Amino acid sequence: MQQLHSYLSGGWVFGQGQAREIHHAITGEPLYQVCSDGLPLAASLDYARNKGGRALAQMTFQQRAQMMKAVAKHLLAHKEALYEISYQTGATRSDGWVDIEGGIATLFAYAGMAGRELPDDTLWPEDEPISLSKQAQFAARHVLTSRPGVALHINAFNFPCWGMLEKLAPTWLAGMPAIIKPATATAQLTQAMVRLIIDSGLVPEGALQLVCGGIGDMFDHLDYQDAVTFTGSAQTGQRLRAHPRLLAKSIAFTMEADSLNCCVLGEDVTPQMPEFALFIKEVCREMTAKAGQKCTAIRRIIVPAKRVAEVQQALLQRLAGVTVGDPRLEQVRMGALVSREQRDDVQQKVEFLLHQGCEPLCGAALDKLELAGEGGQNGAFYPATLLYCADPFSHRAVHDTEAFGPVATLMPYHQTDQTDQAIELALLGQGSLVGSLVTADEALATRFIRATACAHGRMLILDRHAATESTGHGSPLPMLVHGGPGRAGGGEELGGLRAVRHYMQRTAIQGSPAMLAAIGREWVRGAAVVEDPVHPFRKYFEQLQLGESLLTARRTVTEADIVNFACLSGDHFYAHMDKIGAAESLFGERVAHGYFVVSAAAGLFVDPGVGPVIANYGMENLRFIEPVKIGDTLQVRLTCKKKIRKPQKTAEDRPHGVVVWDVQVLNQHQQAVALYSILTLVARQEGDRGQVN
């Protein structure tokens, strides 16, 4: 039998104790032995900090993003090898697609977000400077820096690839190395992906390590700069969270636990409406995808009492068409649970629910399960099981007990003037990763979401309009938070760049503008400027200095300017064009259009000739500070604030970077009338020396 090796301190190693066996989910045959006893687990923490951590910390956010993009491309090129192993875990091709390619897509997504939004630096200025004094020579800002620790990721069995990559993406972007501890039941798939990454040579040595088996005494060697994430059962997570070392060192701990997620059918929906069919389809998909082994799966189906019979009939009819069996077969829609141990656990939970006020509508019995394909008699198959609880307020077990498989419970709610029972039932879950509401009624949706958002990490409102592009109830997305309060663990993963901040240290830096500019490598107002006879728009990206500034010529605003701009733009707002109306306004007289001020400013600072500036890339944080009246004189201070080098996508692309310019539009009294930043694409003199990612 094969041994499933761990990757620690630069080598593939196997333990020396009692090994645990991993079995094929379909055939039940032994596949691998797993053991981590006697391995240098504590030493792997130091190896990560001193080897991988230092290498990652020296890379800029942009370099880390390019590394992740390259890893994602490499994994995508070898995905078929991963699908072959995925079948061993009982997953169908579509199940594997979510896990394997969904995880790879998360790497791509984070690389893209970083490429667009993060600096080409190792320090991340998180906000604009905050003035702390009248003369603006004492200021502060928040910055994010990499922590010289290691992230220990303890993952669940249901998504051995996605579960690893959705944590690795923000961890690596933050500049932290990671040690992955996959669930033993599906560790062979995680190990295969880690081996691909290690063999690619695309990540620094020590940035990624793998423990197949137990983590031994690793918690005892964690320090305050480290972080721990856990995905799995709430009971195990609570025990880990209370570890004395974590408490003593205030070690960051993020938990994402399974929850009894709900899907509610709105009172307004009738069987004739498209929303009814959408509800049935969504519930059945969530019950059977991954054989129900999803932390986001629908466990509680909450419907109006008057619709119970119709919903029951529609669900049973659709579930009857789900073919269970060998996941390699094209006609199979639901594979096996991950192991026979997991199947037995699901069966025990179902039997418990049946003794706690529920009745079976379908499934719930292994002896009636028909399988497609050969050799599945010893597999971990379980039928799609629909239960019914007639009184969900009296039988609280349906809100407390999760059978982690293709199992869900149908329950009714009544609508009265005194109470909204759908809201009450949703809240009885005591915290969920995700809840869904299917309705066509905006007022109903508003009332429901406002009342239940406090108990959910994510909420889907599904109607006929959203359905055409909806990713569904159970699909966490890289840009949205994945996590939830209460029973769901209280943790937070994904959520765009929010997740990166979890692995970094936020520090408030106080000092003079010059000091803040030097530390952040980003010019701030109040810091010294550098003036040069050569117009900054005549300089290539590499030639521009932070703080390089241009003070323009002046322009006096006339009545003709205002009238001409109104005719050109079609903006005849009374404050610009109606002398009487403007006199009665807060301005007291006619004023120039704000966008005329911005346009006039551009006319003052733009160099019109062909040069390194390729294009205007956008505008940020525009504020109109003072009104501009007829006869006022404008002048602009343009200053190079920030530079972001952009990698070439292809060898044919013109090498360039993004330059952020601070724009201060001043009047004749040197008062700011408008403040904003503009972004320009500026050509680089040199390309990426053949390094195209």
Nearest to 658 by CA among 116, 69, 124: 116
Confirm whether 358 is a catalytic residue: no
Q: In Å, what is the CA distance from 164 to each residue of 24, 153, 590, 662?
A: 21, 8, 61, 40
Q: Cβ–Cβ contacts within 10 Å for residue 513, how many?
A: 20
User: Tokens in use for 263?
Assistant: 């899907």
Determine the Cα–Cα distance for residues 264 and 300; give it in Å rounded to an integer.
8
Confirm whether 424 is a catalytic residue: no
Determine the Cα–Cα distance for residues 234 and 231; give it in Å rounded to an integer.
9
Residue 401 and residue 258 in contact, taking contact as beta carbons nearer than 8 Å = no
User: Tokens in use for 200?
Assistant: 């690619």
Q: Cβ–Cβ contacts within 10 Å for residue 188, how many?
A: 21
CA 251 to chain centre: 22
Determine the Cα–Cα distance for residues 426 and 436; give it in Å rounded to an integer.
10
- Which position among 256, 493, 522, 548 bears the catalytic label? 256
The SS3 of residue 355 is coil
β-strand partners of 422:
none
Handedness of CA 373, 378, 379, 385 (dihedral sign): positive
Helix (H) or strand (E) holding 581: helix 579-583
Percentage helix, strand, coil for the chain under 3-state DSSP, each rounded to 5: 35, 25, 40
β-strand partners of 682:
613, 657
The SS3 of residue 624 is strand
Q: Cβ–Cβ contacts within 10 Å for residue 273, how many?
A: 17
Nearest to 597 by CA among 570, 615, 623: 623
Q: What is the dihedral of CA 303, 305, 307, 308, to 10 degrees?
A: 80
Alpha helix segments (H runs only) across 401-459 = 421-427, 442-452
- Which position among 295, 358, 389, 640 bears the catalytic label? 295
Determine the Cα–Cα distance for residues 33 and 681; give it in Å rounded to an integer.
55
The CA-to-CA distance between both ends of the chain, in Å, stands at 40
Residue type, 566: A
Nearest to 497 by CA among 16, 152, 170: 170
Determine the Cα–Cα distance for residues 219 and 226; give it in Å rounded to an integer.
10
User: Tokens in use for 152?
Assistant: 């220990």
String of b and e for 482-509 (b: at least 16 CB within 10 Å)? bbbbbbbbbbbbbbbbebbbbbbeeeeb
**CB contact set of 586 (below 8 Å; sequence gap of 6+):** none
Nearest to 228 by CA among 278, 288, 154: 154
CA 673 to chain centre: 38
β-strand partners of 634:
555
Which residues are designated catalytic?
256, 295
